[in-house]
Amino acid sequence: MTDLTLLGIAEAGRLMARGEITSTQLTEAFLKRIEAVDHKIASYITVSADVARAAARQADTEMKGGVRRGPMHGIPIALKDIYETAGIKTTGHSHFKKDYVPAIDAETVRRLKDAGAVILGKLGTHEFANGAMTPDQPFPAVRNPWNTKYQPGGSSSGSGAAIAAQLCMGAMGSDTGGSIRNPAGFCATAGIKPTYGLVSRCGVFPLSFSMDTAGPMAWTTEDCALMLDVLAGYDPNDQGSAKTDKVDYGAAAHRPIKGMRIALARHWYEGEDSVTPEMKKGIDEAVRVLKDLGAIVEDVVFPSLRDYHIAGRVIITTEAHAVHRQDVIDSPEKFGYTTLRRFQLGAFISAEQYLSALRFRRQLTLDTRAAMRGYDLIMAANQWGDPEIFEEPQAVFHFMGKPQLPMPFNITGQPVTTINCGFSSAGLPLAFQLAGRAFDEASAIAVGAAYERATPWRAKRPSL
C-alpha cells in the first residue's frame, strides 16, 4: 500500500468513501510518523493521540454505517496552538499559557470536529503569533523540513512544517501580516488567507482585531478549499464576521481558468527591493504556465509596497500592544525577549498616528480596488527568496528592513492563496501569491489548483 501520509485530503476522502482505507489507518500512519521524525523539526507542542484515535474510530463506525459527513470526515489534521481546544492545552507558545486548558473549542475547531476531522494535536507558533522562536520560550523552535538549518517562516511555523513533513494532512493557521503565507511559501505548502470576516476567529488568541484572519493550510490548493468549505460562514460571536452566500470551494478547484484576467504586481518585487534571480525566474515561469492554461496575465501598477507595509505595521503594533498591555506591565519577564520588545513598541505609537494609519489603509484599499478594475486576480511574489538561517540573537524588529510582500492583502482584507512554484538551487521552496476580490476565494482557488495540476512541484517532498 502507498505511504498513507503522502495522500492529500481529496484523495484520502475518496479512498475512505470507497472503503479502501480507514480513518484509523490514516491516523495511525500519521501518529507513527510524528513519533519517528518530529524530533527533527519540533512542529508539535502537543500530540493528542488518544483523542485522535477515538475520533478516527468514530469516523470509521459512521462511514461503515453509511454516514458520510463530507470531505473532511476522518481526515487527520492539526491546529496552530492559538486555537482553543476543549480539554487540550492551548499554549500560544508562551510561558503565560503553557498550562492553559480551555473548556470549549474555538468555533473553527468545533466546525472541523462536526465535519468529522481528526485532531492530531497542537502545532508550534511564534509566541502569541507575533514574536520569534527564541531560547527563552517554553518549547523548541520549529525547523524547516527542507533544511533544518533554516527558518520555516512564521507565525504559523508548525503548521507549514508539519504539512510539508507529512505529519498531518492539513492544519489551521492565522494570518495578520502574512503568517499563513510566510510558512506556506517557505515550506512549499498551499495556504489560504480568507477574506477578512469569512472565517470565525472566536476562540483564537487575538493579535490585531482589525487584521486577524483564520485560515487553512494543506499540501494542495484543492485540499485547502475542502477545509474552507467547512470553515467559512457567519459567526455571531465574532464581531468581524460577515454574512455571505454559501460557496462550494472544493468545486471551484476544478473550474476552467481560460479567459481569467490576472494583474501582475511586478513592481512590488522587482523595484527598489528585488527578489532573488531564482525567485524571479520561478514567477516568470509560473506566468508562462498560466498563460498556456488560457489565463491573461498583464503587468499592472498598484500603490507602493512600502505604503501597505508601513500602514500595516503601525496598525498591528498598536493593536497588539492593546491586547497584551496589562501582561507587559505586570509580568514582562514571562514573555520571550523578542516578543516583549515588539509588544512594548506599540506604547510609543500615538492615537493620532494610529488613526492616520487607519485612514491611510482605507485609501490604499480604494486605490487597490481601482487598479484591479477589469481583472479577476492580483499575482505577486510570496517571499523575497530563501528563508533565513537560524541565528541567535534574531532580529527583534525584522520588519524594519524590507517591506513584507504579503502585507497588501492584510491591509485590503482580500482573500489570497500561496502556491509553490519550484525550488531554488539550495533546494528551498519558491512561491507566489494570488489575491481575489473580497469574498471571491473561488477565483484564486481555481487558478492555484490549475497551476498545481499543470506543474510537477506537488510530487516533491522533503527528506527527513
By annotation, the residues acting in catalysis are 80, 155, 179
Residue of 154, 363, 406, 400 lying closest to 265 (CA atoms): 406
**Residues 449 and 253: beta-carbon distance below 8 Å:** yes
SS3 assignment, position 70: coil
Q: Measure the CA–CA gap between 88 and 102, rounded to whole angstroms.
A: 7
256: number of Cβ within 10 Å: 10
Nine-digit cell at 86? 476543549
Written as nine digits, the cell of 228 is 474552507
The Cα 161–Cα 152 span in angstroms is 6
In 39-127, DSSP assigns E strands to 44-47, 76-80, 118-123
Whole-angstrom Cα distance, residue 65 to residue 441? 34
> How big is the CA angle at 22 (ends 17 and 25), to the nearest 5 degrees?
150
Cα 313 to Cα 235, 397, 412, distances in angstroms:
27, 11, 14
Reply yes or no: is the peptide bond before residue 155 cis, omega within 30 of 0: yes
- The full DSSP string for 87-110 is TB---TTSGGGTT---SS--HHHH
Burial (CB < 10 A; 0-12, 13-18, 19+), residue 244, is middle
